[in-house]
Amino acid sequence: MDFNEDLLLLLILMFIWVEYLWELYLSLRQLHIYKTNNAIPEDLNQMLNEESFKKARVYGIDKSEFKIAKELFNIILTTIILYKRWVYTVWSSSESFAGILNISSDQEIIVSCIFMTFVTGFNFIVNMPFTIYANFVLEEKHGFNKQTAGFFIKDQIKSLALSLVITLPIISAAIYIIMLGGNMFIVWLWLFTTVVSLFLLTIYPSVIAPIFDKFEPLAEGNLRNGIENLASQLKFPLSQVYIVEGSKRSVHSNAYFSGLFGQKRIVLFDTLLEKHDEVKNLTTGCTDSEILGVLAHELGHWKCSHIYKSIVLTEVNLLLLFTAFGFLFKNSLLYTTLGFAPGTEPVIIGLIIVLQLILAPYNSLLSFFATALSRKYEFEADNFAVGLNYGDQLRSSLIKLGKDNLDYPIYDKLYSAWYHSHPTLLHRMENIKKQMANKKKD
């Protein structure tokens, strides 16, 4: 390698290590809070007992230590992959495998699909020990994992197969557009990815999600009537309310609405519904009125057009990324730095180098601002729920869900600002209280 190749590789490695060390620093700050804060916050003193608070602390410590270990492994592996030029090694292996199938190495799209299959399979295998540990050790220890080994294996195989089925045709079409699109390929590539992403978002609830989970219509009753009345009040185009059997995978709770155009569906995890465990003498989940408070928040996202705003920002970002790619991907230095011979410049490799490595500082900065914007949207959705007079119900449900999910309520400010797409429980409690007080004044 010449000096320029050494320098570029050094700059890439320096950035990923600086980012890693920054995130390690934040994780250590949060770990310190887990280990040293023993007092329940005053705002939650009447709602959390010492036992649940202690469980949340221990769960937080275990998750934080696991995260630190996993990220250390990832940064070391990434460094080795880049330094040893394993990207070229995998590409060369892909060409050799194509040769075994009597496919010429000139068939770049097919070789690229083989390359991505190898990469996806490698990531799947390397991450599997962490996935198994996270589910069957960490989550199991704290009472969250409900997956059997058979269910887990089926889930992982489905995820891997679906990833390849969706990704490979998209990659093939993208490479074809770049190769034949001429000077306008940036526009065509952007239009293609926009159409595909909107299509996937549209079919996800009815085609993709049922592959993994069983969806059943919510039975007639007070909760269904309350949801339909809330939707009618807001003119929300509700088509159906479903219960998803999330309890087969985990006891963590959630609720969301889906559907970009026309009719939309509301989905409730079965773990969100109030249940009483006779053996443990423990009640989990939320009451009907509290679930309506959660849904008032979710419908606030719809009313405030947060989904569409996010899509617009995503598409603008994609256009910027593809524009940068258009300017950079023909630079031979990008390929020779990773071990490719001069003149060997596969499009898929250019996409990886430019979008993931060269633009990594931009991606990190954008991620930070996207996280901050997401928190702003969450506050707006909470405010919307308060405006519908669901402030008390939302507040109560957030506390219950935080308790059920062992969500430790105290976070380091820097850690929260960098990582949290949702405001912390305490910040949401403070905001809801303030909004309710202002509403009373009005």
Annotated binding-site residue? 297: yes
pLDDT of residue 17: 97
Closest CA to 372 of 327, 424, 422: 422
pLDDT of residue 3: 65
β pairing state of 275-277 and 255-258: unpaired
pLDDT of residue 1: 55
Distances (CA, A) of 116 to 189, 404, 433: 19, 40, 50
Distances (CA, A) of 61 to 45, 57, 72, 271, 422: 21, 6, 17, 24, 20
pLDDT-flagged residues of the chain (< 70): 1-3, 46, 262, 276-282, 442
Q: Mind telling me the catalytic residues? A: 298, 382
Give per-residue pLDDT as tens, 213-250.
888 898 899 999 999 999 999 999 888 888 988 777 77
Measure the CA–CA gap between 247 and 251, rounded to whole angstroms.
Answer: 5
pLDDT of residue 147: 87
pLDDT of residue 2: 66
Annotated binding-site residue? 427: no
Give per-residue pLDDT as tens, 58-71.
999 999 999 999 99
pLDDT of residue 230: 92
Distances (CA, A) of 21 to 24, 296, 413: 5, 40, 17
Measure the CA–CA gap between 378 and 297, rounded to whole angstroms.
Answer: 8
Question: Residue 156 has which token pair?
Answer: 């992982």
β pairing state of 238-244 and 215-217: antiparallel
Strand partners, 240: 265
Distances (CA, A) of 113 to 36, 74, 263: 50, 24, 36
Question: Residue 303 has which token pair?
Answer: 């009313």
pLDDT of residue 351: 95
Reported as type and span, the H/E element at residue 241 is strand 238-244
pTM for the model stands at 0.90
Question: Residue 41 has which token pair?
Answer: 């916050």
